[in-house]
Structure 1
Amino acid sequence: MQKPINKNGFTFIEALFALILSLLIISSLPFVVKQIASFHPYATLDDMEANQLFQFIQDEIHKTISFTKTSKGIELLQSDGKRITIEQYGSIVRRQVNGQGHETLIHDISAFNSTSSNEHTVMISVITLKGESYEKTFSLIPKR
């Protein structure tokens, strides 16, 4: 009587295939690590901070029904009646709700300016203490 053939083990071809696949993965790791290490979406930390400030202002403007340019920044009137003030305070830009609170949005700022060409657009410009300048134009979509 013959013994049944055991089919639970590895064949030489399977072992060779696993070895080749492992070597391919290991040989490509240095290239992947180099790409990950050289990835920098922003040139400096100031670039990232300014981008985050502009993103936050954009989120506030999406909830806004009207805005007013003030001497130090902008004042946003939201649909729920809140009055949001974004202004320079010393070397920071802060956010206040109804004239209360103190939320720092960005620090190390030498200038924070807003200019409005019409009632639906405002351009915000920020100059850091290092002298780097950033600006972005925001549009208020009128409610119909």
Structure 2
Amino acid sequence: MSEKRTKHYAYMELKNEDGFSFLSMFLALTIISTTLPLFVYALHSINQIPNYYEEWSIQQFFQFMRDEIIISNEITVMDDKIILSQDDSKISIEQFDGIIRRQSDNTGHEILLGDIQDFSFDKLPYGIRLEITNSLGDIYEKSIVYYD
């Protein structure tokens, strides 16, 4: 009769019916305990991404004001608002409650920037200096040059 011998180097089905061994459980716990803090650190660093929404919105407002001033024929700086004369209309830009609004011929209500604590402007010999204080107390300033 031929006798089958098991070869140790050949693949055999696992016949472990006793469950997990102490060594396999220890290895699994070691892997979990080393990767879990790294995973928590990665999640924490994702939540720390800075939010530049305020800076971007104020920068966009400054760009808009520059474009409006460039295409204006006449610029009048009053105590509480700027009046820009463009072709057939007069555009006023002023602070209203906590926002900066734009009106065309004293009608409408276009919101240009929100969450504003203070909006001031000064007439310069070469243009206008705008200063914005947002609701967090940060101050942003920009000088816009007239183009004749």
TM-score greater than 0.5 by the shorter chain: yes
Unaligned runs of 5+ in 1: 1-36
TM-score (norm: length of structure 1): 0.65
Residue number in structure 1 paired with 2:62: 54
Task: Give runs of aligned pairs for residues 1-144 of structure 1, distance below 5 A.
Answer: 44-78=52-86, 80-118=87-125, 120-142=126-148
Q: 1:83-116, CA deviations, whole angstroms, 9 ceiling, x for partnerless residues?
A: 1111000000000001111000000001000101
Identity fraction in percent: 31
Higher mean Cα deviation, 85-94 or 58-67?
A: 58-67
Q: Which has the higher contact order (CA 8 A, sep 6+)?
A: 1
Q: Could you tell me how far 1:62 is from its partner in structure 2?
A: 1.5
| Structure with bigger gyration radius | 2
- What is the number of equivalent residue pairs in this alignment? 101
Query: Which runs of 4 or more aligned residues in structure 1 lie more than 3 Å from their structure 2 counterparts after TM superposition?
Result: none
Q: Could you tell me how far 1:117 is from its partner in structure 2?
A: 1.9
Provide the aligned C-alpha RMSD in A. 1.8
Unaligned runs of 5+ in 2: 1-45
TM-score (norm: length of structure 2): 0.64
